[in-house]
Chains A and B, each alone.
Chain A
């Protein structure tokens, strides 16, 4: 890539870019999958040609399906969803026929370490693992998933019920995803918040943040803080 005049991105070493006068071409590598974005059609053709000379490459055309994530372009923007992944998960767990709920987790839940009898650990970890992957396009379940993933080492029936609750919530709208709108800017905005000492067991806080680039949500996180803080402002 470097030989073709591309530069490596400092923030992410799998990203390469080429800037010319008014054009930009960017290439992202995910093991054997490559995404190319650019406004210079000629350069993109040239790039593909150069890559083909080096490796055996299959041109998949427009980006449609990447790591189990469906990419759809519409006049309103680009939609990312993991509809098939969510449906497969519901199918496997036999949740397709259930009645859906409107929230992924109980309000003011008091989920703690000891919550009922122990359950099948492997199954719990597998389910939560799949939910974590689903979080790539579902910020709405991120908090609930972060809560259930705290008990991976010793899951109890109460935790499993919370996992089922997330699945039942997914059933309501498995095709939900992220819409990237055309806002014609690339401003970066970040927001964060924390619930102060909300965990009744160790008084630690849980914080969340999200970052928008160009008016579209790209990064978000919900995480329990590693230490207990004394003041609301400290936790934030």
Chain B
């Protein structure tokens, strides 16, 4: 959880602002997963903070969503190329994907559960980018 928060801070995900009157403030929650390797052994435990995007309304709170998802057929075509001409295949993994992009709209989020302090009282986070579910 601390690792995730540190990454969020480092990538300038949000700024602390006073509660904006008349604006909707969305909730957020922690999602916990256990990462396994191909043999089924536990690699690490992971906590991810997500904004509850489903409380937003299309047209009012947002109008565009995008995730870069490659089609599986594309991947298979690539692998066919690799097999046919003996090309090497490499794999990279980007850490904290969601942070790479910028949000133009005004989106406000509550302070993450278990991380409220005196300093954060009466304030919310103005998001620049975060996972929405």
Interface residues of A, Cβ cutoff 8 Å to B: 11-15, 26, 28-39, 41, 44, 48, 51, 54-66, 70-71, 77-78, 80, 84, 136, 178, 180-186, 213-219
Contact = CB atoms under 8 A, between A and B. Distances in A.
A38 B87 contact: yes
B70 A57 contact: no
Given A33-B94, A35-B91, 18 more contacts: A28-B75, A34-B91, A35-B78, A36-B92, A37-B87, A55-B100, A58-B94, A60-B92, A64-B38, A66-B75, A66-B91, A180-B84, A182-B85, A214-B80, A214-B84, A215-B84, A217-B76, A218-B80
A175 B77 CA distance: 21
7 contacts: A14-B71, A31-B67, A37-B90, A63-B89, A180-B79, A182-B83, A219-B73
B34 interface: no
A37 B82 contact: yes
Interface of B: 38, 40, 67-97, 100
Main secondary structure, interface of A, reads strand
Contacts of B93: 32-34, 57-58, 60
B92 A181 contact: no
A54 B82 CA distance: 27
A28 B81 CA distance: 13
A184 B92 CA distance: 27
Contacts of A57: 92-95
Contacts of B82: 37, 78, 180
Given A34-B91, A34-B93, A63-B91, A13 B79 contact: no
B89 to A, nearest CB: 4
Contact of B89 (A12, A13, A36, A59): A36
A218 B82 CA distance: 13
Contact of A77 (B83, B88, B90, B97): B83
A29 B92 CA distance: 9
Contacts of A32: 93-95, 97
B67 A35 contact: no
Contacts of A29: 68, 70
A181 B92 CA distance: 24
Which among B71, B72, B81, B90 has the highest number of chain A CB atoms within 10 Å?
B90
Q: 7 shortest A-B CB distances, which residue pairs?
A: A180-B83, A63-B89, A32-B97, A216-B80, A34-B92, A56-B95, A218-B76
A94 to B, nearest CB: 18
A80 B76 contact: yes
A178 B91 contact: no
Contacts of B92: 33-36, 48, 51, 57-60
Nearest to A12: B74
Contacts of A61: 90-91
A78 B70 contact: no
B9 to A, nearest CB: 14
Given A35-B90, A64-B91, A218 B73 contact: yes
Contact of B79 (A33, A71, A84): A71
Contacts of A36: 89-92
B95 A55 contact: yes
Contact of A183 (B73, B75, B84, B87): B84
Which among B69, B92, B96 has the highest number of chain A CB atoms within 10 Å?
B92
